Amino acid sequence: MKAGLHNVSDPLSLRSSVAFVVDQETQEVLLSKNEDAVLPIASLTKLMTGLLVSEAELSLDEMITITQDDVDTEKFSSSRLRVGTTLSRGELLHLALMASENRAAHALGRTYPGGLQVFVEMMNAKAQLLGMSDTRYVEPTGLSSKNKSSARDLALLVDVASEDPLLREFSTSPAYQVAVGRRKLMFNNTNRLVRNPTWEIGLQKTGYISEAGQCLVMQAKVAGRKLIMVFLDSAGKLSRLGDAERVRRWVETIPAKAPVPVTQNQADARSPVFF
């Protein structure tokens, strides 16, 4: 299926097999490519994890200890947060969003009121509430390829998450240091564009597992417009960032459409603009 998606061409020659770019304020679709394809989303999952934790208004100062339950037994990925490490919920949320820390994300779901199963149920309920009909979650990290969504659904999630000041701050900070016992660990953002002064990024999340390819979602201001960008199943580690750059340069060359008041009949007759 994914091979077929890569055969679909687009005017910008993007390396991502799925792309969706929409003006957040006017809802104008600027670019769409396989936007309804349902694919594994890897660590883009953590955006929903973060949204639920933030909206629950749980204490960010509460201390949480990483346990054996948080160790990845699916992909056997490594983590700098050893079993027994104790950090605050706020620190874990920061690391999950910024550095895509898997044990941090799992611990956030595990310590949610009601436990992990309730948390996953809440993830799916929230997705349905937001109109994300192509989306399904089975765990809070994205390590499972059973966590799936479409670019169109993910744009809905980014739209909501970008209104949350905590998610904006934590997902876009370039680096973050935590104290683990006597040691201090420095973590860096998985998206190097947050360090690029030519970008104005309000929210971002990267993702990668082999089944999903390289993924990226962002809310960013380009040429005075607030855009939501979604790139899934990109070919190489840097190609998702290259695709974002290509989209940005292209948007800077096209005029923004001024919102025009329309009657309800006109609105019903309109179809989305696709390029």
Residue of 46, 126, 148, 205 with catalytic role? 46
Residue of 54, 100, 144, 149 with catalytic role? 100
Q: Model confidence over 47-63: pLDDT tens digits?
A: 999 999 999 999 999 99
- Would you say residue 4 has pLDDT above 70? no
- C-alpha–C-alpha distance, residues 149 and 152, integer Å: 8
Q: Is 100 a catalytic residue?
A: yes
The reply to whether 275 falls in a domain is: no
How much is the average pLDDT of 242-261?
79
How many CA atoms lie within 13 Å of 230's alpha carbon, on the beta-carbon side? 29
Residue 24, token pair as written in the block: 């957040």
The reply to whether 20 falls in a domain is: yes
For residue 178, CA distances in Å to 39, 92, 97, 185, 186 come to 34, 10, 14, 5, 7
The reply to whether 82 falls in a domain is: yes
What number of other Cβ atoms are within 10 A of residue 121's Cβ? 12
The reply to whether 262 falls in a domain is: yes
* pLDDT (0 to 100) of residue 1: 42
- Would you say residue 153 has pLDDT above 80? yes
Q: Model confidence over 19-31: pLDDT tens digits?
A: 999 999 999 999 9
The reply to whether 171 falls in a domain is: yes
Q: Model confidence over 72-109: pLDDT tens digits?
A: 998 999 999 999 999 999 999 999 999 999 999 999 99
In terms of residue numbers, what domain contains 89?
A: 2-269
How much is the average pLDDT of 196-220?
96
CATH number where 120 lies: 3.40.710.10
- Cβ–Cβ < 8 Å for 217, 235: no
- DSSP label of 188: E
Residue of 16, 17, 43, 171 with catalytic role? 43
Residue that is written with structure tokens 């799936």 in the block: 148
What's the mean per-residue pLDDT of the chain? 90
The reply to whether 258 falls in a domain is: yes
pLDDT tier, 69 (very low <50, low <70, confident <90, very high otherwise): very high
What number of other Cβ atoms are within 10 A of residue 165's Cβ? 9
Residue 29, token pair as written in the block: 């679709």
CB-based contacts of 30: which residues, under 8 Å, 6+ apart? 21, 22, 23, 227, 247, 251, 254, 273, 275
- Would you say residue 264 has pLDDT above 80? no
Q: Is 78 a catalytic residue?
A: no
Task: Give the total number of structural domains in the chain.
Answer: 1
The reply to whether 245 falls in a domain is: yes
Q: Is 46 a catalytic residue?
A: yes
The reply to whether 274 falls in a domain is: no
